[in-house]
Amino acid sequence: MATLLDLPTLWAFVIAFAVFAYVVMDGFDLGIGILFPFFSPGPERDSAMNSVAPVWDGNETWLVLGGGGLMAAFPLAYAIILPALYAPIIAMVLALIFRGVAFEFRWRDPGHRRYWDFAFTTGSVAATLAQGITLGALLQGIAVEGRSYAGGWWDWLTPFSLLVGVSLVIGYALLGATWLVMKTEGAVQDHSFRLAGKLAIGLIICIGLVSAATPFLSGAYYERWFAWPQVLFTAQVPLLVGLCSGALVVSLMRRWEYWPFLLTLGLFALCLVGLGISMFPHVVPNAVTIHEAAAPHASLQFMLVGASVLIPIILAYTGYAYWVFRGKTGHEGYH
């Protein structure tokens, strides 16, 4: 098996899949929280929340898989990345708890609903911003000396990491708006179409800014994107982003219900491909490769058996939940 499978690379793809699955399934959920202040209290907010009520609490499964997989499969990377990014990661976890409590108590305590609505929005924005800052800080590089983190407490806070954070807030908000376009009707859907049109332009601009800045963060990034002949391959990514962006704008102008959400997911997938081009084969950019950070082969092999059983089960019950609650959202309460 050792000669047939490159287990560290395989586990890198498993973790990348978990990250993308989290973006797909929790991105629109967080996006609805980000957009909550733009909907009027009452039926509009209730419809928005009802659209995610049956599925929202299972979405963090993929976040746990990604973080747990990093710790188990790449313990050296985990030991370097976590000390560098403790502040935004802890902020993200606390914000996710905060919004989860607000989600439940919004219905349980209607007398203080406006405060729970504020908490729901605050938690959603803070969690998304923290995720984006974490990604930006990782991409810009982490100071490593020997086998440990050698930077300071505030190294994660830079203009680039803030740009990525704001971009993710806009991206998740667009996912939320296009999800509501797909799941609601009437006034909520019309409002969501208007929001999605503005957010789509914002996301396209942010993708352009992040993409323009990334190759100049490191000489290695520049080489991976522009060196000959791999530029013939890497150039396809911005080309596809342009085509996908144009199709997204057209789908919103023609008021298609399903394509805006799918095309937004396509943009996120292409951004993940771009991230892979910049970083691979490193797990800590320009410092530690996936093979240097990997756990022993026997451990990776043992975990792969469990993952090959559990991931299909998670996908099956998640798919079944979405199938059961397919179609348009009604106006019934959450509980």
Across the chain, what does the average pLDDT equal? 88
pLDDT tens digits for 285-301?
Answer: 888 899 999 999 999 99
Instruction: Flag whether pLDDT at 187 surpasses 70.
Output: yes
pLDDT (mean) for 60-78:
88
pLDDT tens digits for 197-215?
Answer: 999 999 999 999 999 999 8
Which residue matches tokens 């596809």? 240
Residue 162 structure tokens: 């803030």
**Nearest to residue 178, comparing CAs of 241, 257, 125, 121?**
257
- What long-range pairs does 291-294 form, CB within 8 A, spacing at least 24? 291/8, 292/76, 293/8, 293/74, 293/75, 293/76, 293/77, 294/7, 294/8, 294/11, 294/73, 294/74
Instruction: Flag whether pLDDT at 228 surpasses 90.
Output: no
Query: Does 1.20.1630 match the CATH number of domain 9-324?
Result: yes
pLDDT for res 75: 92
Predicted TM-score (pTM) of this structure? 0.91
Percentage of residues in the chain having pLDDT higher than 90: 49
Instruction: Flag whether pLDDT at 87 surpasses 50.
Output: yes
Q: How open is the CA angle 246-248-254, to the nearest 5 degrees? A: 105
pLDDT (mean) for 267-292:
90
Name residue 252's amino acid.
L
The Cα 18–Cα 24 span in angstroms is 10
Break the chain into its structural domains and give their ranges. Answer: 9-324
Paired sense of beta strands 282-284 and 288-289, if any: antiparallel
